[in-house]
Amino acid sequence: MFYHKKELQYTAKPDKPDPVYAKKLQEVLGGQFGEITVAMQYLFQGWNCRGNEKYRDMLLDIGTEEIAHVEMLTTMIAQLLDSAPVEAQENAAQDPLLGAVMGGMNPQHVIVSGLGAQPTDSAGYPWNSRYTIASGNLLADFRANLNAESQGRLQVVRLYESTTDHGVRDMLSFLIARDTMHQNQWMAAIEELEQQQSVVVPSTFPKEKEKQEVAYSFMNCSEGTQSQSGRWASGKSMDNQSTFEYDESPEPMGQAPSLNPAPHYIHDTPLFSSNNPNEKK
């Protein structure tokens, strides 16, 4: 069961309207690594969690908190859009919508949402459920969660640096702090799972079914050998099952591909001899 409290988790009130910044803020609301994505990602991971109540409860805790962040951002965006596009009209053009567009505002904030936030990114692309990951393998999912929080925090920090509005910065500083906690949370959960199983996902696949001769070989497949000095090219493997090797000049191990001609009804390109292009084979 979900229920809603009228008060926000944290204050979301700008010093003054800024419709151009409202467009930017849409990225961390409805973008690939925005709050809608992580809310849905964590909730579906929790709802689909089988047989582990500790992780299920943790996922539902953080997923529900992310809904609160969605509400904070939508509230902030709506206030940043107050009176738009009146100011743009006065400064740019007689047509208020043209003035808004010329000023860098998202015209859909006027046309579609009536000065409200939208489930889209900063370019107006609709939020997509394909951004979310809920595989059922908690270690794989938690690593995806760590990436989402890392990218999300990076974007919020960049947004913080691109405004001088104290009210906006105050709210963003709260979100940045929560992303700090969430990154630490996922790292702690990942470490816990890695200690219980292999660091390689999935840990349940039999080792003998892998091609062991290439399982720990770093292949130099581009010009230069600077990658040889990396931790991934020598020493004990991270799963403690073998030793990394550096293959400076990897040789092909497969056949040269040669495909049979398609049947006539497919109407592919007809085949000709190399000497006479006008002659059919």
Nearest to 279 by CA among 206, 134, 271: 271
Q: Per the annotation, does 7 bind a ligand?
A: no
pLDDT at 102: 52
- Rounded-to-integer distance, Cα 100 and Cα 17, Å: 13
Looking at residue 6, what DSSP letter applies?
S
Task: Report percent pLDDT > 70 for the chain.
Answer: 90
pLDDT for position 91: 52
User: Is residue 224 part of an annotated ligand binding site?
Assistant: yes
Question: Is 90 known as a binding-site position?
Answer: no
Indicate if the pLDDT at residue 225 is higher than 50: yes
What's the pLDDT band for 270 if we cut at 50, 70, 90? confident
| Tokens encoding 151 | 């990218």
Does residue 219 have a pLDDT over 70?
yes
Q: Is 264 annotated as a binding residue?
A: no
Average pLDDT on 172-187 reads 98
Comparison of pLDDT for 166 and 275, the residue scoring more: 166
Whether cis (ω within 30° of 0) applies to the bond prior to 85 is yes
Any binding-site annotation on 137? no
User: 217 has which bridge partners?
Assistant: 245
Mind listing the pLDDT tens digit for each residue in 132-153? 999 999 999 999 999 999 999 9
Q: Could you give the domains of the chain?
A: 19-81+116-196 (1.20.1260.10), 207-247 (no CATH)
Could you give the C-alpha distances from 258 to 252, 254, 272, in angstroms and in order?
15, 12, 16
Q: Is 4 annotated as contributing to ligand binding?
A: no
Q: Over 70: is that where the pLDDT of 276 sits?
A: no
pLDDT tens profile 65-114: 999 999 999 999 999 999 876 655 455 445 555 555 556 889 899 889 99
Q: Is 222 annotated as a binding residue?
A: yes
Contact 116, 78 (CB under 8 A): yes
Sign of CA dihedral 202, 208, 211, 216: positive
CA distance 221 to 59: 39
Place of tokens 């940043």: 80
- Ligand-binding annotation for 69, yes or no, is yes
- The answer on whether 61 is annotated among ligand-binding residues is yes
Where do the H-state alpha helices sit in 162-264? 166-196
For residue 93, the model assigns a pLDDT of: 47
User: What pLDDT does 55 receive?
Assistant: 97
- Average per-residue pLDDT for the chain: 92
pLDDT in tens, 21-58: 999 999 999 999 999 999 999 999 999 999 899 999 99
149 annotated as belonging to a binding site for a ligand? yes
Edge-to-edge strands, sheet with 217-219: 217-219, 243-247, 235-236
